[in-house]
Amino acid sequence: MGSSTSTPDATPVDGPAVVSPSPDAPRLDIAVFTIFPQLIDAFAGESLLGKAQRRHLVRVRTHDLRDYTTGVHRSVDDAPFGGGAGMVMTPEPIFSAVEATEPPRPLLMLGPAGRPFSQAMAAELAAGGGFSLLCGRYEAIDARVRDHLVDGEVSLGDFVLAGGEVAALALIEATARLVPGVMGNATSALEESHSENLLEYPHYTRPAEFRGWEVPDVLTSGDHARVARWRRAQALARTLADRPDLIEARGGLTAADRKLLAEFHLG
């Protein structure tokens, strides 16, 4: 009845043979309920997610809600009771799809009224082993889905999209890259923006001088301890300037933070 698709195991055309992870490597199992499964499948089959699926670290399955409709026209929406603009997604195909497939929980609905998605939530989901996402379309989803089927609602921010698919893809990638083995460098995910409620420090590569702009001397000094302190100070300074709310969430600057900023004349 319902369709379930995932990226098949395969050797990348332009890469080496796929190396299977060790038996104890964790895997993240993700199910997505949508009326546009091809959008999810195409994205999840490429780049980081595609490689993670081929290595059996992550699995992304899509379920087409239209496969669970009963009408000839496979309609998933109807006019709202009480009148108003737009159409509302009907509950029947959504309940039927979820009950027929028994997806990994929690089942989260994407919507602007939900809990704000964050790096901390990504880490929480990555550690849980699996989750499912419900992508809405049209004006809204029948409220009975939120009240009696899903485990929560998640929002990417205070803005409105045409549907939940783009938000779902962002959430999936942010979460999947935290699964051990998915990132090429295990320390990358730990040093990136928001990992400690700090924005990431600036990065530089060759050439050391470009159009008169030079790489900071500390990065070419060979003093690894000083480089680490500089990066920390830059992260603090960037966060203070662009996201002071994150500093407040950490309880403010510590004495060590202030000393570090002063060392590099940033505070």
pLDDT for 191 equals 57
Residues 196 and 169 in one domain: no
CATH number of the structural domain spanning residue 202: 1.10.1270.20
Residues 156 and 203 in one domain: no
Q: Is 158 annotated as a binding residue?
A: yes
Q: Is 136 annotated as a binding residue?
A: yes
Backbone angles phi, psi at 108, to 5 degrees: -115, 135
**Is residue 87 classed exposed, middle or buried when 0-12, 13-18 and 19+ CB atoms within 10 A define those classes?**
middle
In a domain, residue 19? The reply is no
In a domain, residue 4? The reply is no
Residues 61 and 113 in one domain: yes
Residues 53 and 129 in one domain: yes
pLDDT in tens, 20-76: 444 544 489 999 999 999 999 999 999 999 999 999 999 999 999 999 999 899 999
Residues 133 and 247 in one domain: no
**Contact (Cβ atoms closer than 8 angstroms) between residue 145 and residue 134:** yes
Helix (H/G/I), strand (E/B), else coil: 249: helix
**Contact (Cβ atoms closer than 8 angstroms) between residue 67 and residue 98:** no
Q: Is 161 annotated as a binding residue?
A: yes
pLDDT > 70 fraction of the chain, expressed in percent and rounded: 86
Reading the block at residue 123, the tokens are: 């880490």
Q: Is 160 annotated as a binding residue?
A: yes
pLDDT in tens, 215-253: 999 999 999 999 999 999 999 999 999 999 999 999 999
Residues 127 and 257 in one domain: no
pTM: 0.81
Q: Which of 177, 193, 208 is the last residue of a domain?
A: 177
Q: Which of 177, 208, 230 is the last residue of a domain?
A: 177
pLDDT for 184 equals 76
At 186, the pLDDT band (50, 70, 90 cuts) reads: low
**Contact (Cβ atoms closer than 8 angstroms) between residue 63 and residue 3:** yes
Whether the per-residue pLDDT at 138 is higher than 60: the answer is yes
What is d(CA 80, CA 87) in angstroms, rounded to the nearest whole number? 6
- Helix H or strand E encompassing 229: helix 224-242
CATH number of the structural domain spanning residue 138: 3.40.1280.10
pLDDT for 17 equals 39
Residues 141 and 210 in one domain: no
pLDDT for 236 equals 97
Residues 173 and 194 in one domain: no
pLDDT for 65 equals 99
In a domain, residue 7? The reply is no
Q: Is 251 annotated as a binding residue?
A: no
Contacts of 59 (CB under 8 A, 6+ apart): 6, 27, 28, 29, 30, 53
What is d(CA 46, CA 51) in angstroms, rounded to the nearest whole number? 7
Nearest CA among 114, 168, 122, 102 for reference residue 146: 114
Whether the per-residue pLDDT at 159 is higher than 60: the answer is yes
Residues 129 and 190 in one domain: no
In a domain, residue 6? The reply is no
**Contact (Cβ atoms closer than 8 angstroms) between residue 156 and residue 171:** yes
Q: Which of 132, 154, 177 is the last residue of a domain?
A: 177
Residues 91 and 36 in one domain: yes
In a domain, residue 109? The reply is yes
Residues 191 and 164 in one domain: no
Measured at the CA of 246, the angle between CA 242 and CA 248, to 5 degrees, comes to 115
**Domain range for residue 199?**
185-266
In a domain, residue 13? The reply is no
pLDDT for 31 equals 98
Q: Report the mean per-residue pLDDT for the chain.
A: 89
pLDDT for 71 equals 87
Number of structural domains in the chain: 2
What is d(CA 64, CA 32) in angstroms, rounded to the nearest whole number? 9
Interior/surface letters 58-76, b for 16+ CB within 10 angstroms, e for the rest: bbbbbbbbbbbbeeeeeeb
Mean pLDDT on 183-197: 66
In a domain, residue 95? The reply is yes
Whether the per-residue pLDDT at 148 is higher than 90: the answer is yes
Reading the block at residue 208, the tokens are: 């050391």
pLDDT for 15 equals 38
Mean pLDDT on 5-13: 40
Mean pLDDT on 70-89: 95
Residues 192 and 149 in one domain: no
pLDDT in tens, 196-214: 789 999 999 999 999 999 9
Whether the per-residue pLDDT at 5 is higher than 70: the answer is no
